[in-house]
Amino acid sequence: MTQDDHFSNGRGEVKVTRALAEFVEQMQWHDIPPKVRHEAKRSLVNYFAVSLAGCADAGIDQAVNVYTRFSAGSEAGLVGRRNRTDILNASALNAMSANVYDFDDTHLPTIIHPTAPVAAPLFALAEATRETKAMTGEQLLLAFVLGVEVECRLGNAVSPGHYQRGWHITSTCGVFGSAAAAAKTMNLDARHIGWAFGHASAQSSGLVETLGSMSKSISVGNAARNGVLSALLAAEGFAGPERPIEGERGFLRVTAEHPDLHAAVSTLGSEWSLLSNTYKPYPCGVVLNPVIEACLELTRTPGFSFADVERVVLTGHPLLRERTDRPAIVLGREAQVSAQHSVAIALARGRAGLAEFTDEAVAEPAIHAFASRLTFADDAAYSVEAAKVTLLMRSGETLSKRVDAARGSLSAPLADNDLDTKLTELAAYGKTGCDARSLIDALWALESAPDASLLMRLVSR
């Protein structure tokens, strides 16, 4: 009997809720392969890197001012700040900080940013429980791995139609990952974990239309916050439906035209979503990474001048145009998902860091005017990790560069020391005063830490 058979009813329907709940309940740290354990730590290095930059964003300042007015306690800290608040608000605000610049990790098969909705609540819970029974680094890492597995498997089941219908997949699936991770730290059994999934399904939301605005951050924060709330309610015996994920009117069937239920449960425990996780060298939508890399390479052509570029043809998978054809932008947040801006700024400055995706960068007349010079050429033969940039120069010369696997992709991943450098640079960018070296050392040693909450003390002022 196959695993799918075990989790099927008499009609051949896969019991996704039950399968995932039992998986979360039963898995232990010794079941997690060493490579997955290591990838979990890499994800958390990247998480704190982007959080330490994003926490200084003006939009996050505004969110902190509002959310903390309704704080129910001071158990948990906020990355890069002196503020302390309750578990739910800390989960939301720290997830928002990690995701606000679109510089966080990406699970390539689904384009979910998996770490922010799962890590933020785990560190909040670790702080809240340290006085009674400290959460060890091993316990946090196990819960993190399982939370990411749940959210990404649900993403596999609803992709690609889910995103195309307008659902923001990080938010809609992230709430299940948060619920799973929180439930694991509470030692809930499969029945109660299933209830937590039911509560998460009732709070799963987020729209693609919000990308490029702070509204996106609300749903990412809610995914973290509401997942914890779901687990807390389930722990109290607050019951949910039997099939909230696969039911006739459950999450999968409501949010996808043709959900693949088997994708959510097949190979559980033998294939791991974290091994398909990637980390960005540039603060923008992941499909723009090869575009930017190609542009930066073209700027190194002898005699190249941005002023001499007459027209740009951008060739890539249709998803590239669908997600990044945004010519009329006015904000830095919009720039993070705009091919027009990314191409112009990379060609003009020869770099693509956080400073290149600000309101000020967008407002530069030469950058703003460049949008009309770019056209897309869809080619379904391209992978989403590939792109070709062709420059038609005023001289009549043509310059072209194709990138099949950009830095940060699965084929050309950032090395551990690259992630260390990213954390060091972004900690400096956020001006939090965080000792980056101490944080990096603590992250790589997290598996043996007796108290996982110590990390938050290193990043809170």
10-residue mean pLDDT series, the chain (461 residues): 49 86 98 98 98 96 97 96 96 97 93 97 96 94 99 97 95 99 98 98 96 93 98 98 97 97 97 97 92 98 97 95 93 92 98 95 95 96 93 97 94 96 96 96 98 96 73
Q: Within a 10 A sphere around the Cβ of 27, how many other Cβ atoms?
A: 18
Instruction: Return the closest-CA partner of residue 323 out of 156, 155, 208.
Output: 208
The predicted structure's pLDDT at residue 12? 60
Report, in angstroms and rounded to the nearest whole number, the Rg of the chain calculated over CA atoms. Answer: 22
Residue 136 CA to residue 448 CA, distance in Å, equals 8
CA–CA distances in Å: residue 403 to residues 21, 293, 316, 381, 385: 41, 7, 10, 14, 8
The predicted structure's pLDDT at residue 47? 98
Instruction: Return the closest-CA partner of residue 343 out of 409, 305, 412, 289.
Output: 289
Query: Backbone phi, then psi, for 139, in 5-degree steps?
Result: -65, -40
Q: Within a 10 A sphere around the Cβ of 163, how many other Cβ atoms?
A: 22
The predicted structure's pLDDT at residue 7? 58
Evaluate whether 195 touches 145 at the Cβ level (below 8 Å). no
In the block, which residue shows the tokens 């958390």? 44
Q: Within a 10 A sphere around the Cβ of 35, how many other Cβ atoms?
A: 11
Instruction: Please give the torsion angle defined by the CA atoms of residues 235, 241, 243 and 246, in that order, rounded to the nearest 10 degrees.
Output: -100
Q: Would the CATH topology of 3-279+420-459 be identical to that of 286-403? A: no
Q: Within a 10 A sphere around the Cβ of 233, how many other Cβ atoms?
A: 18
The predicted structure's pLDDT at residue 310? 97
Q: What is the length of the chain?
A: 461
In the block, which residue shows the tokens 């559980």? 268
Residue 104 CA to residue 94 CA, distance in Å, equals 12
Instruction: Return the closest-CA partner of residue 259 out of 2, 14, 4, 6.
Output: 14
| Residue 372 CB burial class (10 angstroms; 0-12, 13-18, ≥19) | exposed
The predicted structure's pLDDT at residue 95? 98
Query: Backbone phi, then psi, for 297, in 5-degree steps?
Result: -65, -40
CA–CA distances in Å: residue 205 to residues 199, 252, 284: 12, 13, 22
Residue 280 exposure: Cα atoms within 13 Å on the Cβ side: 31
The predicted structure's pLDDT at residue 192? 98
> 3-state DSSP call for residue 453?
coil
Q: What ranges do the domains of the chain cover? A: 3-279+420-459, 286-403
Architecture of domain 3-279+420-459: Orthogonal Bundle (1.10)
CA–CA distances in Å: residue 444 to residues 232, 419, 441: 30, 11, 5
Residue 43 CA to residue 428 CA, distance in Å, equals 19
The predicted structure's pLDDT at residue 2? 45
Give all strands of the β-sheet with 309-316 in edge-to-edge order: 374-378, 309-316, 387-393, 398-403
Architecture of domain 286-403: 2-Layer Sandwich (3.30)
Instruction: Return the closest-CA partner of residue 110 out of 164, 49, 37.
Output: 164
The predicted structure's pLDDT at residue 285? 86
